[in-house]
Each structure stands twice: as C-alpha cells, then as structure tokens.
Amino acid sequence: MKIRYQMTGSPMTKAAVRVWSKMSTSRLKRHFISILLTIFTILMLLHLHTYLLKAMMRSLLYGASDLETMEAFETRQTLLDARCINMTKEDNGDIDVMTHTPHKLLYCPVPKAGKTFWVRVFRFISGDVPNHVKVKSVFDVDREFAHYAPWKEGVHTKYKLVNKPHFPRKLKFLVARDPYERILSAYIDKIFLMDFWFSHGSAIIDQRDRLNMMAKANADGSRNVSRCPYDITVSLLVTLDTIPE
C-alpha cells in the first residue's frame, strides 16, 4: 500500500519546508567544504612528506642543505670577484690547462688539490701513456711520467685569461680544497719528505738565514743554526711565505 503525503497549503507548512530546504543546502555546503579541506590537508601532508624525505636524502648524500651550499658558493663568488676586480693585465697571465676535445672537457690544475690524479686521468683518456707499460686504468700511469713526460699534442695547453672571448666552449672545472689542508699537504710532500730538500728545502733555509727568522746569525760563535731542511716547521714555511722580499 502506498502512502502519499499531501502538503497542505497553510503558511506554516510552507515556511517549514523553506527552513528545511535552507538547512539541507547549508549542510551540503558544509559537507562539501569539509571534503575539500580534507583533500587539501592530505595533499599538503603528502607534499610535506615528500619535501622532508628529499631534504633528508640530500642531507645524507651531501651533508648540507641546498641553501647552505648556495650561500657557500655565493660567498666564494664574492671573494673571487673582489680579488679579480683589482687584477692588472700583468696578473692575468697564462694558465696551464688540460683539454680533451672529444668530450669537450677543460681542467685547470690546482696544486695539492688532486692535481696528480687528474693529470693521470687526462693522460689516460687521451692515450698519452707510456708505450712500454700496459696501462689498464688511470692508476697505472706512473706519477713521474704524469708530471714530467712530454705531452701529447692538444692535451696540455696554455691560455691567456684576458682572452676570455676566445676561450674554448668546453666544460671547464677545477678542484678546490681547504687552504690549510693544502699547506699541510705541501709541507709533507715538499719539506717533510726528502724529494725536494735540495731545491725547496735549501731555498727556505737560505731565506730563513737572510731574514734571521729562527735565530740571529752566529756572530759570537755561541749558537749554531741548523742547515738541515728536516728542521723546517710548518710555522716557518707559512711565515716565510708571507714575508715580502
């Protein structure tokens, strides 16, 4: 049996219907807004989760955030610009670079910052290796050969810094290293070890004696100043290097 409700036309009934209709519409709007807010919150949480995950991965891989890295590079660029702006044409001399045309690479060697390794790399990829030795990797290239053997044509080149428009369009790179680590590495390689005692070591001893850095000249015969390069300290090396001639 079907039951039909017949709406009377009284004013009170019509008003009740209008109120119920408005309440239903308001409920639907609130419900729709609630759904939108829920979806927006979920999307924001997913975005935040992705961002934090990427930040954590960057921190694990690189040890610093992108912002810190960018600030460090900007500081270096500022220091570089401040130094280069005062350079004269005499300062802008030749620079030794290594190139590999097939891969459009250009490397600017920096002493005590992985130079030996990269010299080996460029000799290896250019086939500039000794003929009497079987070379399978960059580490098979002898250190003495890497530094002192004649260069294959087109690998080792000189460029003028002032000729920037004529600089080859290649991927240019150099390796940076903490300056204090470079000083210590230079001391160990050139002074502490005996390979350069007769060249670098003797020159430092001569400069020390000229400037009377360690002790006054043995005028009264009461003191003897060592002439052995082994007695050169890191402090002496740095001090002598910062004194103008």
- Is 129 exposed, middle or buried (CB count within 10 Å of its CB: 0-12, 13-18, 19+)? buried
In this predicted structure, what is the pLDDT of residue 16? Answer: 55
In this predicted structure, what is the pLDDT of residue 117? Answer: 92
Same domain, 107 and 163: yes
Residue 66 lies in a domain: no
Residue 120 lies in a domain: yes
DSSP 8-state class, residue 150: P
Confidence of residue 3 (pLDDT cuts 50, 70, 90): very low
Cβ count near 47 (within 10 Å)? 10
Helix (H, G, I), strand (E, B), or coil: what is residue 170?
Answer: coil
Cβ count near 225 (within 10 Å)? 15
pLDDT for residue 162 is more than 60:
no
Same domain, 132 and 156: yes
Range of the domain at 234: 179-242
**Sequence letter at residue 175:** V
Same domain, 138 and 188: no
Same domain, 168 and 117: yes
pLDDT for residue 84 is more than 80:
no
Residue 215 lies in a domain: yes
Residue 77 lies in a domain: no
Q: What is the mean pLDDT of residues 25-39?
A: 78
